[in-house]
Amino acid sequence: MGNKTELSGGIQNDYCLSFVSGGLMTLQWLLEPCLHEGQPAAFHYRNRIVFTPKVLLVNDDAASLLALASLLDSDGKTYRVITARSGEEALRQVLNHDFAVILLDVSMPGMDGFETAEAIHSHPRSASVPIIFVTAHYADEMNRLKAYQKGAVDYLFTPIIPQILQTKISVFVELARNNLQLQRQKQELEKLNHDLQEQRKQDLDHINERRLAEEALRQSQEELRQLASYQERIKEDERKRIAREIHDELGQNLLALRIDIAMLHARTGNTHPKLNRKVQAVLEHIDSTMKAMRAIINNLRPTVLDLGLNAAIEWQVKEFQRRTGIACDLRMPESEVVVDDNRATALFRILQESLNNVFRHARATKTTITLHKTGERLLMTVADNGVGIFPGCRRKANSFGLVGIKERISSLGGELSIDTAPETGTALTISVPLPSVDHAEPPRLAAAKISPARAGRRMSDGLKQVSTSAKRVAPPRRGKAVRADTSTD
């Protein structure tokens, strides 16, 4: 048996004839479509899909076809060989399989190789399949040119050197394998990209939902803040109204009653001693009632607020020092700080709440209250030398001191800062914008809408309550820190 295969039309060597003599069983073995017996062209290997490329051999001569198949099958079996005896059969195979390369005989009855190649490349599925022409009779340049015009990638003459043919086939097989791998990678990337797009869409939907929820939450918080501010204004207005009614009605009646009782007391001093003693007791009851009335009025709305913010702060600091025994240092400008009624009431209530926190929580021995203007803002600082605010104690259950202060400041468009440390005290700094000078009203007469005579009586009552002992000094220099802090509710 020869070691070299030569293909020259109808002449084959002993190597080819030995396969012909083997009969049909030998031919089936040569055309086994797998790398290993019983395995399909594309099979799972360790849970991974292994693709076996296919090579189509087209030749009307059975001996030449068998020789080509045996030659290719000896090349390590890295691809599957499929044969066809005519151009029509080749077209049927092309419709059913994807081929890495096609070896096509030029001279065939019926459809020759050129017509078959043109028909193969006219179909979308096989338009890019490389075709190698193999011929023993049409070795001239005209046919070679015609083959290339029909889409051939090579034009071989017999006899063929086996190593060259095997190398060419191996190149196209490897190209097909790489192309399939690229296609699969492309499909995986497309699927991954689709998944990422879906995930991105879901993320965007979640972001939009979260943004809408946050916007709704902010709107709800703003509405609650406005409602709380409105309720606070209503409460202050109602306090003001009740205080006025008590002062103007009950206060005037008590005053008239006291004058009458005082006249009776004076007239009965010498003539009716027993009655005089009884009248004296009545006078004392009237005085205690008037004192309780003034305390109720001050709790509802201190009349000293009608004298301005400076006088109200001075009175509140004096009252706090008298009531608690904690030393207070008040620092504010000599000139009157002119603010509207809402700001004055809010700052006064904030000062009250801050001083209450000092008394209830700070265990302080000294408190410093500073009020001064910086540009277009008014700053008030309440500092103490107490125990400070411990971590986690700023918000206790059923305790809303700081919350109320923050809400009042927020309604004024102001800011609150807290400087604290354990055992070093606490300092609350409140900053609120000042109204323009053109729009600032003189304190209280316009806001209260009362007659000058009645306002004079109120101011007279308020002046009796204002301490003249509190110090008034120039405001501290800008940038000077107050080292203290207030405990909270």
Here the CATH number for the domain that contains residue 404 is 3.30.565.10
Q: What is the mean pLDDT of residues 122-149?
A: 86
CA-based torsion, 417, 421, 424, 425: positive or negative: positive
Is position 292 within any domain? no
Is position 116 within any domain? yes
Please give the model's pTM, rounded to 2 decimal places: 0.48
Contact 350, 409 (CB under 8 A): yes
Contact 139, 157 (CB under 8 A): yes
Is position 219 within any domain? no
**Greater confidence, 345 or 42?**
345
How many angstroms separate the CA atoms of 420 and 36, rounded? 82
**Greater confidence, 81 or 137?**
81
Q: Is the pLDDT of residue 4 over 80?
A: no
Q: Would you call 175 exposed, middle or buried from its count of C-beta atoms within 10 A (0-12, 13-18, 19+)? A: middle
Q: Is the pLDDT of residue 221 over 90?
A: no
Contact 173, 53 (CB under 8 A): yes
Of 97, 128, 160, the residue that ends a domain is: 160
Q: Is 262 strand, coil or helix? A: helix
Q: Which helix (H) or strand (E) holds 173?
A: helix 162-245
384-418 pLDDT, tens digit each = 988 887 665 655 544 567 777 888 888 888 888 88
**Greater confidence, 299 or 132?**
132
How many angstroms separate the CA atoms of 364 and 486, rounded? 9
Q: What does pLDDT average to over the chain? A: 76
- Tokens representing 466? 């204002």
pLDDT at residue 387 in the model? 87
Of 98, 126, 160, the residue that ends a domain is: 160
Query: For the chain, how many helices (H) and strands (E)?
Result: 14, 12
Token match 């809400």: residue?
A: 407
Of 128, 160, 192, the residue that ends a domain is: 160
Q: In CATH, what number is assigned to the domain containing residue 123?
A: 3.40.50.2300
Number of domains composing the chain: 2
Is position 52 within any domain? yes
Instruction: Give the Cβ contact number of residue 22 at 10 Å.
Output: 14
Is position 249 within any domain? no
Q: Is 11 strand, coil or helix? A: strand
Is position 262 within any domain? no
How many angstroms separate the CA atoms of 87 and 107, rounded? 10
Is position 352 within any domain? yes
59-109 pLDDT, tens digit each = 988 888 888 888 887 555 678 888 999 989 999 999 988 888 999 888 888
Its domain, for residue 84, covers 14-160
Token match 């103490």: residue?
A: 384
Q: Would you call 330 exposed, middle or buried from its count of C-beta atoms within 10 A (0-12, 13-18, 19+)? A: buried
